[in-house]
Amino acid sequence: MRIAVVTGASSGLGREFVRRLGAEGGLDEIWAVARRKDRLDALEALSPVPVRPLPMDLTRPESLEALSALLNREQPEIRVLVCAAGFGRIGQSRSISAADNSAMIDLNCRAAVDVTSAALPYLHSGSRILEICSTAAFQPMPGLNVYAATKAFLQSYTKALHHELLASGIHVTAVCPYWIRDTEFIPLAQKADPGGFRHFPLASRAGTVVRWALLDSRLNLWVSTPGPVCAVHRLAAKFIPHALMVPLLDLLRRV
Helices (H), 194-241: 206-218, 228-239
Task: Check which CATH number belongs to the domain holding 75 and give it.
Answer: 3.40.50.720
Q: What angle do CA 229, 235, 101 make, to 5 degrees?
A: 75
pLDDT tens readout for residues 118-154: 999 999 999 999 999 999 999 999 989 999 999 999 9
pLDDT tens readout for residues 14-60: 999 999 999 998 999 999 999 999 999 999 888 999 999 999 999 99
For residue 227, CA distances in Å to 92, 117, 178, 197, 207 come to: 27, 29, 8, 21, 12
Q: What is the pLDDT of residue 199?
A: 58
pLDDT tens readout for residues 191-245: 555 555 655 676 778 899 999 999 999 999 999 999 999 999 999 999 999 999 8
Domain count, the chain: 1
**Is the four-CA dihedral 216, 221, 225, 227 of positive or negative sign?**
negative
| Per-residue pLDDT at 180 exceeds 60 | yes
Q: What is the pLDDT of residue 179?
A: 83
Rounded Cα distance, 217 and 225, in Å: 11
Structural domain harbouring 135: 2-254
| 148-152 LR contacts (CB < 8 Å, sep 24+) | 150/86, 150/104, 150/105, 150/108, 150/109, 151/108, 151/176
- Are residues 159 and 147 in contact, defined by beta-carbon separation less than 8 angstroms? no
Rounded Cα distance, 119 and 113, in Å: 10
* DSSP-assigned letter for residue 77: E
Residue type, 82: V
For the residues 94-119, what does the mean pLDDT come to? 96
Give the phi and the psi of residue 241 in degrees, each rounded to 5: -55, 145
* Position 110 confidence tier, pLDDT thresholds 50, 70, 90: very high
Q: What is the pLDDT of residue 251?
A: 76
Among the ranges given (98-107, 167-176, 179-188), the one the predictor scored with the smallest mean pLDDT: 179-188
* Position 187 confidence tier, pLDDT thresholds 50, 70, 90: low
58: nearest Cα among 25, 31, 95: 31
For the residues 153-180, what does the mean pLDDT come to? 96
Buried b (16+ CB within 10 A) or exposed e, 68-95: beebeeeebebbbbbbbbbbbbbbeeee
pLDDT tens readout for residues 51-93: 999 999 999 999 999 999 999 999 999 999 999 999 988 888 8
* Host H or E run for residue 4: strand 2-7
**Is the four-CA dihedral 225, 54, 192, 140 of positive or negative sign?**
negative
Please, what is the average pLDDT of the chain?
Answer: 91
